[in-house]
Structure 1
């Protein structure tokens, strides 16, 4: 499965989890008692943890969201089930190929990954990633900041297709006063071209 599809799926699950009430979660856990087991269910504190348990049991995946969709309908939350249906019915835009600039953008992303620190989320937020997407990236890549940055920038590139350019990345860096990183990106691109 493609990493970007997995990220989009995790973002949908996080969104659903955040919109569940405590009663919704409790009811979902009751319906899953046979599959997951009561002892394990007692340790699950959020919808996201419940969804992860369902994935581990192969009852939920990006290709097969039907089990969770049905459960959400049973607990009278078809609005949340529709989010899964919408994910399943769309393939999403392709990974961005920015003409001849694509390899330069990949190089720029690599430089940013090596030079932007713990406040990387400010950069990707400036580039347009949402809070739930950032949370999913952090959740999926604990204790690996470089991977978090790389995943976030790759997702930005995928979402924005032809609008994702080195210039846009440099502009975002400069707007956050990350001028040294922006200068390094431009220098590496210039070296790669020559």
Structure 2
């Protein structure tokens, strides 16, 4: 007996569930619009906030073979767009500031409700915090990540960004994250000296 590999759409959907595939909000909206005829419910469309939500709704609605193939192709295209946009908009400013992206990811995944305090201690303007809250109302992780990106792009002393971030984490009473960031930054500095 020959073992066959799963169809491409199964592996793509599994990668979405494993969070190996991510897309930005604009591309999620494009996918939602393209497959709104399958969802066929404005209330369900409103509650789709992530790619996983969209996949779950499409599967509940019984997406068929041809639509699955179209979804897979559209998702691959959106993933390419997201990756090119991320490298153009996110990676460059963050690297220029000396704070690696994985550090920002780690903070945003673990900061929880303290992201708001952290934003104030990082001197992110209130109007930007409110805009971020409005744009990502159901995801503290996304809110935190956007605050960190905003901080990294603030026009001030680029050399002191890491120390300001560490100080803000301490002021927000997230000493665990402060210690992790200090360790990551010291590892980065020791590797750059080699």
TM-score, structure 1 normalization: 0.44
TM-score, structure 2 normalization: 0.44
Larger RCO, structure (CA 8 Å, separation 6 or more): 1
